[in-house]
């Protein structure tokens, strides 16, 4: 629930701090005083898109913050873990800033979050409803969604939808097989050509790198041979190192007495000689293994050219080229299977259609049972809302072909529509045919009340849903709000004194001008101030004795325990 709301520099509000309680919180004030600003500020706190035009004139930024005690529920725990946030004593602090530069900030606790995260959180904490939402009841698809939601059938419907989509893809695949034979043969020929070209190339992983190294070596043939010839002359020529070492060994042997350690210097010299000979021999063997024939280099260049050409057509690497070849073989197998492949798909389609039909029938039966329970509860709420003779029916008709065969769509075989008879003797009609805005308001409130009992959401916001109603209907709505507020925190903006008189917490919004400045003020009214506000709502005059007496009567009758 919302415990405190702080608004700074939003539209006509310079700064207000408002504390709310459980139960029914009513917001009242003259038209244009700024009631919608309050709801708009709350919407910002819950993830509504920012509009820099909301920033108070002369200011660079607007700020909205709220303190919200929350329940310990699994959905919130998952959200905390997802965004790395820890509530303190089951309380959240949400802060949002809007800047004229277009850049704003959002914090939950001290952790920055993005708008999507805030919207996820807001959807778990608040359910906001305005008079414009009535129009959603005119959309038949919403009737199906509401019924499934009430019956806990959302996941089952989603599973049916997934199966329906899978079947649709299979049907498309079969239709594709039935396309023009010439086109299919052309596709098969292209696949066959690609598969054969790739197979004949017989490319191996790592081959391209090996060939590049080989070509690089062959390209340096002249330089390698020149250096090998030079080394051979230096090592084995008339004055080569190896011959000279033989002569030098005799001199070393004669000079060895100069060194301590008998024969040590001779052994070291001999070791160095053997090392040089071994180096030369290793290089000679390496040169013998290398063939510098022009034919070998031409073959390597040709192979690399083939790999380059195949990469341009079939993939960026040898692995991708070979994978494409395998895919072509699979496509060819399907093409060449002809009717056999189609028969397998047709058999699969038949099995899927039977399964989908079974799922749709089971879902339809659950919807029928759910509809009976839901319409009973909604009718009970309508009676509490002053529609004593009102009838609410959820009409379920199974879709059928002209031959009477059940027709399954992405959400099942049911055609679902809410019907209403507002008065005794009147025929049931679709909601879009109901002329009275007050009747639609009550239907929506009845629906909200039913779903609120199931919802984890603790706070409901009703923005001027009382438009077009009055008298006893307004009193019945007020009583219904009071009943709903036993378990939920309710916010409602209203112009009707009879609804305002039921408030647990009455907040007055007023606009005042001083010089060239206009500002919106928010005040929690009790006692005489509240009586005067209700009198103003009754007769536009908060001072006349008759208005005050009527206001007091309403408050004593409808306020909690008769205290206001």
213-263, pLDDT tens digit by residue? 777 777 766 677 777 777 777 887 766 787 777 777 777 777 777 776 667
Whole-number pLDDT of residue 341: 65
Distance from CA of residue 257 to its chain's centroid? 91
* CB hemisphere CA count around 312 (13 angstroms): 6
Token pair 């359910």 is found at 127
DSSP assignment string, 10-64: ETTEEEEEEE--SSEEEEE--TTSSHHHHHHHHHHHTTPPP-GGGBPTT-SEEEE
Token pair 């009527």 is found at 550
Whole-number pLDDT of residue 473: 81
Whole-number pLDDT of residue 281: 85
**Cβ neighbours of 543 (radius 10 Å):** 9
Residue by residue, pLDDT tens for the chain (564 residues) are 999 999 999 988 889 999 998 899 999 988 878 788 888 898 899 888 888 888 998 899 999 999 999 988 888 999 999 999 988 888 999 999 999 988 899 999 999 999 999 999 988 888 877 666 556 777 888 899 989 989 999 999 999 999 999 999 999 888 877 766 667 788 888 989 999 999 999 999 988 888 887 777 777 666 777 777 777 778 877 667 877 777 777 777 777 777 766 677 778 888 888 888 888 888 888 777 766 667 777 888 888 899 999 999 998 899 899 999 998 988 888 777 665 567 788 899 999 999 999 999 999 999 999 999 999 999 998 888 888 888 999 999 988 777 767 789 999 999 999 998 888 888 898 887 875 666 777 787 888 888 877 777 888 888 767 766 777 888 888 888 988 888 889 999 888 999 999 999 999 998 888 777 888 888 899 999 999 999 998 877 666 788 898 888 999 988 876 666
Whole-number pLDDT of residue 291: 63
Rounded Cα–Cα distance for residues 445 and 461 (Å)? 11
The backbone torsions φ and ψ at residue 505, rounded to the nearest 5 degrees and listed phi first, read -140, 115
| Beta carbons of 420 and 431 less than 8 angstroms apart | yes
Whole-number pLDDT of residue 534: 92
**Cβ neighbours of 390 (radius 10 Å):** 22
| Beta carbons of 2 and 489 less than 8 angstroms apart | yes
Work out the end-to-end distance of the chain between its first and last CA atoms, rounded to an integer number of angstroms: 23
| Beta carbons of 458 and 452 less than 8 angstroms apart | no
Torsion of CA 95, 100, 103, 104, to 10 degrees: 0
| Beta carbons of 467 and 431 less than 8 angstroms apart | no
**pTM of the predicted structure, to 2 decimals:** 0.61
Q: In what order do the strands lie in the sheet with 429-430?
A: 391-398, 414-421, 429-430
Rounded Cα–Cα distance for residues 564 and 560 (Å)? 8
| Beta carbons of 359 and 413 less than 8 angstroms apart | no
DSSP element (H, E) containing 492: strand 489-493
Q: Which residues pair with 8 in a beta bridge?
A: 15, 63
Rounded Cα–Cα distance for residues 354 and 408 (Å)? 11
| Beta carbons of 269 and 252 less than 8 angstroms apart | yes
Token pair 């609410």 is found at 392
Where do the H-state alpha helices sit in 385-491?
437-454, 471-484
Rounded Cα–Cα distance for residues 39 and 119 (Å)? 16
Q: In what order do the strands lie in the sheet with 459-463?
A: 126-130, 459-463, 489-493, 24-28, 505-514, 517-524
Rounded Cα–Cα distance for residues 506 and 534 (Å)? 10
Which structural domains are found in the chain, ordered by start?
4-150+361-524 (3.40.50.300)
DSSP label at residue 139: -
| Beta carbons of 385 and 445 less than 8 angstroms apart | yes
| Beta carbons of 327 and 187 less than 8 angstroms apart | no
User: Which residues, including other chains, have CB under 8 Å from residue 271's CB and lie 6 or more apart?
Assistant: none
Whole-number pLDDT of residue 542: 61
Most distant CA atoms of the chain, gap in Å: 142
| Beta carbons of 499 and 438 less than 8 angstroms apart | no
Which candidate, 11, 5, 7, 6, places its Cα nearest to that of 59? 11
DSSP element (H, E) containing 249: helix 241-255
| Beta carbons of 457 and 122 less than 8 angstroms apart | no
User: Which residues, including other chains, have CB under 8 Å from residue 12's CB and lie 6 or more apart?
Assistant: 34, 37, 56, 511, 518, 519, 520
**Cβ neighbours of 207 (radius 10 Å):** 15
User: Which residues, including other chains, have CB under 8 Å from residue 152's CB and lie 6 or more apart?
Assistant: none
Angle at 537 between CA 462 and CA 548, to 5 degrees: 135
R_g over Cα of the chain = 43
Rounded Cα–Cα distance for residues 503 and 19 (Å)? 14
Which candidate, 245, 243, 246, 224, places its Cα nearest to that of 233? 243
Burial class (CB in 10 A: 0-12, 13-18, 19+), 266: middle
DSSP element (H, E) containing 172: helix 154-177
């Amino acid at each position: 629930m919302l415990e405190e709301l702080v608004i700074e520099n939003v539209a006509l509000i310079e700064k207000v701090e408002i504390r709310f309680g459980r139960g029914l919180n009513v917001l009242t004030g003259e038209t244009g005083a700024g009631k919608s600003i309050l709801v708009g500020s709350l919407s910002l706190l819950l993830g509504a898109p920012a509009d820099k035009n909301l920033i108070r004139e002369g200011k660079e930024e607007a700020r909205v913050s709220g303190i919200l005690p929350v329940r310990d529920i699994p959905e919130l725990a998952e959200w905390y873990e997802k965004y790395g946030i820890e509530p303190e004593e089951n309380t959240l602090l949400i802060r949002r800033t809007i800047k004229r530069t277009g850049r704003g900030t959002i914090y939950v606790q001290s952790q920055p979050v993005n708008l999507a995260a805030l919207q996820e959180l807001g959807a778990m904490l608040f359910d906001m409803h305005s008079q414009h939402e009535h129009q959603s009841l005119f959309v038949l698809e919403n009737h199906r969604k509401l019924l499934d939601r009430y019956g806990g059938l959302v996941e089952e419907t989603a599973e049916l939808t997934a199966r329906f989509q899978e079947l649709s893809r299979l049907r498309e695949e079969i239709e594709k097989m039935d396309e023009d034979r010439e086109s299919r043969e052309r596709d098969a020929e292209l696949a066959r050509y690609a598969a054969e070209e790739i197979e004949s190339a017989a490319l191996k992983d790592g081959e391209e790198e090996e060939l590049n190294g080989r070509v690089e070596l062959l390209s340096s043939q002249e330089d390698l041979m020149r250096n090998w010839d030079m080394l051979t002359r230096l090592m084995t020529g008339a004055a080569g190192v190896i011959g000279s070492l033989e002569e030098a060994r005799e001199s070393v042997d004669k000079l060895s007495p100069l060194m301590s350690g008998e024969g040590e210097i001779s052994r070291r010299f001999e070791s160095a000689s053997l090392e040089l000979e071994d180096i030369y021999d290793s290089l000679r063997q390496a040169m013998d293994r290398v063939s510098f024939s022009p034919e070998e280099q031409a073959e390597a260049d040709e192979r690399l050219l083939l790999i380059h050409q195949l990469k341009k057509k079939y993939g960026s690497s040898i692995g991708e080229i070979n994978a494409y070849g395998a895919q072509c073989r699979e496509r060819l197998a399907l093409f060449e299977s002809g009717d056999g492949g189609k028969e397998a798909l047709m058999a699969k389609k038949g099995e899927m259609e039977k399964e989908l039909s079974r799922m749709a029938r089971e879902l339809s039966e659950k919807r029928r049972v759910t509809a009976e329970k839901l319409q009973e509860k909604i009718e009970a709420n309508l009676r509490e809302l002053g529609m004593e003779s009102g009838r609410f029916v959820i009409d379920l008709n199974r879709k059928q072909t002209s031959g009477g065969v059940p027709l399954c769509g992405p959400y099942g075989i049911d055609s679902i529509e809410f019907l209403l008879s507002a008065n005794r003797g009147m025929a049931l009609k679709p909601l879009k045919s109901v002329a009275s805005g007050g009747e639609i308001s009550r239907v929506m409130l009845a629906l909200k009340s039913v779903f609120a009992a199931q919802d984890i959401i603790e706070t409901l916001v009703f923005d001027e849903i009382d438009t077009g109603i009055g008298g006893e209907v307004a009193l019945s709505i007020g009583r219904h709000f009071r009943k709903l507020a036993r378990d939920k925190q309710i916010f409602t903006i209203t112009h009707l004194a009879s609804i305002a008189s039921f408030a647990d917490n009455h907040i007055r919004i007023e606009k005042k001008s001083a010089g060239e400045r206009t500002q919106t003020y928010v005040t929690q009214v009790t006692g005489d101030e509240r009586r005067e506000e209700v009198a103003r709502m009754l007769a536009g005059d908060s001072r006349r004795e008759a208005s005050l007496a009527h206001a007091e009567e309403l408050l004593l009758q409808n306020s909690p325990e008769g205290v206001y």
